[in-house]
Amino acid sequence: MRIRACSFAGLCGIAALLFAADERSYTGWSDYLGGPDSAQYSGLKQINKSNVSQLQVAWSYPTGDKNSYDFNPVIVDGVMYVQAKNNSIVALDAATGREIWVHPNNTRAITARGVNYWESKDRSDRRLLYCVDNNLVAIDARTGQSIPSFGENGRSDLRVGFDRDPKTLTRIQNNTPGRVFENLIILGSAASGEYDTSSPGIIRAFDVKTGKLAWVFHTIPHPGEFGYDTWPQDAWKTVGGDQNWSEMTLDDKRGIVYVPLASPNYDFYGGDRKGQNLFGNCLLALDARTGKRLWHFQFVHHDLWDYDTPAAPKLLTVRHDGKMVDAVAQPTKMGFLFVFDRVTGAPLWPIEERAVPKSDVPGEESWPTQPFPTKPPPFARQKFSADELNPFIPEAERASLRDKILSARNEGLYTPPSLRGSIQMPGHNGGGNWGGSAVDPSAGLLYVESKELPTFLKLDTRPPRTGPPNGPAIYSQNCAGCHGADRAGQAGAIPALTDITTRLTADQIKSVVQSGQGRMPGFSQLTPRELDALVAYLAMPGTASPPPSGRSFAALIPLADPAATPQRYWSPIDFLLASNRLSAIGPPWSQLTAYDLNTGTIKWQVPLGEVTALAADGHTDTGSHWPRGGLIATAGGLLLAATTSDRKFRAYDKDTGKVIWETSIAEASEGVPAVYEVGGREYIVLCVATGNGIMGGPSAQKAGAYVAYALPEKR
């Protein structure tokens, strides 16, 4: 069976707007990811393949603290806007790194990856917009001062439009900055946690001048809305998820915003949300002025794998069947790349609905088919057998890993989570992620960085809790997955909790746990008594030991039938890692792939980075472990990307994938670089401030910095 995207009435009139590639010059970087189209592309050519080896540090600006930052700088009129100094917004001279002004925020609950810039037509009003503490704020881009006329005293409450009690929405703001269109700023939302109690996703637009809500799109449809019948009745009142926590893309010529969505909650069990679950895991095309749905395509029906869609859709123009077609391409966690006509939503190549394995979990009704694009080919491996075990893991661990794989359900990409355990590949944290793809918009070329990290999912049951809350168990279920069973965290990436009660009061700890902070989600499902028990355990962990827990987390999910035995399903997420922190599967663990979307083929594919310890022994083709972050392409023939575990910044030949320049960086980098020009000199700036990355090895993080590279000045 072949399928097409659902399109909207009156599409023929809009289809007449088809035009060749945008005439924009791509010489600036005034938006997140370079521009509203998320191209991550620079048309500058001063730095190119012939001279990139001469790059040197032009200036460096220290962040002034040891916080992790993964910010994509924005540059307007020679002024660069960054995040530093305890999450302040800072304006810098883009040619020298000299500090111009600082706007303090005094919080960690802030848009972490970028900022929105808007200016009036006469340029008399210039604003930066971003989210902080569940509010949208506006500051003057020239002075850094708040704009009191925006919202209420410079802030607009983001909890409006949810049709839920605002008190239950502990954290809904995004880590990415949304998109500005005309006098609107369009925003997604982020869950307070990936649980059944988290908030529903909605897409909203606010007026950039007044801060007032302009329109709302419900990603979990209300009665009478398209897709309502793909859920249980009144699911919109209770179900969470379907959020745009990641990136979005704007075709500002047509006024269409492309919004990729996450999965419904809970991630690995859907017995209480039977159905196809629109608009979970969809690419939505919305009218940017009104929020009206134009078309959509669902990549995963009734998601059970946390296969949300974190990467920005990419706009480019390709030659297809002898015609120039304006397309939108969407990388996914599954390793698929889907390509559509950006106006009609029609796939450029057939997409087939194929039968997939059926869930054997009581109460679950997995969807019988999933969409498979016939072209282009996937950019990641989608199966993991016991014969592909990593040759670099200790021999003593190979037998147990092999047994684990052989005993689990392992039937390919859409093997459903099970009670006996299931293998997931490339993994819920694999494939393509935010900031990780770039295009040459007019040449029809797309580049994507990806990682492969197989995961073991095993659903389990437990009786309902009775008696007083158990602090060690609460910690194990909710915190140990990131901070570790020993509370030691990940040095330079995830803070240790061993001394947390000496640094924060009990009330401060409870506030962070409930509302989230920085990249940590909130855990609003915990009751006051459970929070008390958790704080007591953190203060005196020696009084009890938490159950064994590796890199996993657990959540409680009610069975669909309330008359059933009151058991609950939960799923530890077990990344298949060895004691040396390497993946159970053999390399390459990350790759850089070049697509020619004029033909739907892969031009080349190379490992992305390396693992330092293995490279020292001559193994340089493994790819970096756990890379996440930015990739940019340039008209100078370059692809630029930083990797985390090996702390390198590299330039690749855009035509071949060959590394033609690399330099060491002091800390890992997960942000997207920016390319710009001031006074006739081209610069490349990189945020080097994420310790060892989200899953890096132990290392004491130093204070980070924004580092700008340029060619030597001519004397």
Residue 596 lies in a domain: no
Residue 257 lies in a domain: yes
pLDDT at 561 over 60: no
- Confidence class for position 556, pLDDT limits 50, 70, 90: very low
Domain containing residue 481: 460-570
- Find the angle CA(264)-CA(268)-CA(270) to the nearest 5 degrees: 60
SS3 127: strand
pLDDT at 4: 43
Tokens (6 digits) for 566? 């009151």
Tokens (6 digits) for 151? 């919202």
Residue in the structure block whose two tokens are 């970087």: 29
Tokens (6 digits) for 61? 């600006």
| 286 touches 294 (CB < 8 A) | yes
Tokens (6 digits) for 585? 């599967």
Cis peptide before 376 (omega within 30 of 0): yes
pLDDT at 483 over 90: no
- Looking at the DSSP bridge assignments, the partners of residue 583 are 577
- Confidence class for position 532, pLDDT limits 50, 70, 90: confident
pLDDT at 16 over 80: no
Residue 295 lies in a domain: yes
Residue 498 lies in a domain: yes
CATH number at residue 513: 1.10.760.10
Among 542, 570, 598, residue at a domain's last position: 570
The rounded distance, in Å, linking the Cα atoms of 655 and 678 is 28
Q: Which DSSP helix (H) or strand (E) runs through 62? A: strand 56-62
CB atoms within 10 A of CB 543: 10
pLDDT at 304: 95
Averaged pLDDT, 467-478: 71
| 64 touches 18 (CB < 8 A) | no
- Average per-residue pLDDT in the chain? 86
Among 512, 546, 570, residue at a domain's last position: 570
SS3 for 525-574 is CCCHHHHHHHHHHHHCHHHCCCCCCCCCCCCCEECCCCCCCCCEEECCEE
CB atoms within 10 A of CB 446: 27
Tokens (6 digits) for 102? 């600082």
- Confidence class for position 544, pLDDT limits 50, 70, 90: very low
Averaged pLDDT, 85-93: 96
pLDDT at 557: 34
Residues 209-264 have pLDDT tens digits of 999 999 999 999 999 999 999 999 999 988 888 999 999 999 999 999 999 999 99
Residue 192 lies in a domain: yes
CB atoms within 10 A of CB 558: 18
SS3 401: helix
| 636 touches 675 (CB < 8 A) | no
The rounded distance, in Å, linking the Cα atoms of 33 and 435 is 7
HSE-CB of 642 using CA atoms within 13 angstroms:
30
Averaged pLDDT, 596-603: 98
Residues 263-276 have pLDDT tens digits of 998 889 999 899 99
pLDDT at 389: 96
Domain total of the chain: 2
Indicate the pTM of the whole model: 0.87
Averaged pLDDT, 499-528: 67
- Confidence class for position 573, pLDDT limits 50, 70, 90: low
Residue 545 lies in a domain: yes
Q: What are phi and psi of 431, to 5 degrees?
A: 65, -145
Residues 19-38 have pLDDT tens digits of 334 457 899 999 999 999 99
The rounded distance, in Å, linking the Cα atoms of 509 and 512 is 5
pLDDT at 174: 84
- Looking at the DSSP bridge assignments, the partners of residue 137 are 130, 155
15 vs 551, higher pLDDT: 15
Residue 171 lies in a domain: yes
pLDDT above 70 covers a percentage of the chain that reads: 84
Residue 639 lies in a domain: no
SS3 395: helix
Q: Which of 188-202, 380-394, 539-553 has the highest mean pLDDT?
A: 380-394
Closest-CA residue to 267 (of 555, 483, 551, 517): 555
SS3 436: strand
The rounded distance, in Å, linking the Cα atoms of 271 and 570 is 12
Give how far Cα 236 sits from Cα of 37, 227, 287, 536, Å: 31, 11, 22, 36
| 458 touches 418 (CB < 8 A) | yes
Q: Which DSSP helix (H) or strand (E) runs through 176? A: none
CATH number at residue 294: 2.40.128.630
Closest-CA residue to 420 (of 383, 454, 456): 456
Q: Is 211 left (phi over 0), alpha (psi -120 to 50) or beta?
A: left
The rounded distance, in Å, linking the Cα atoms of 549 and 582 is 18
Residues 362-400 have pLDDT tens digits of 989 999 999 999 999 999 999 999 999 999 998 889 999
Q: Which DSSP helix (H) or strand (E) runs through 513? A: helix 506-515
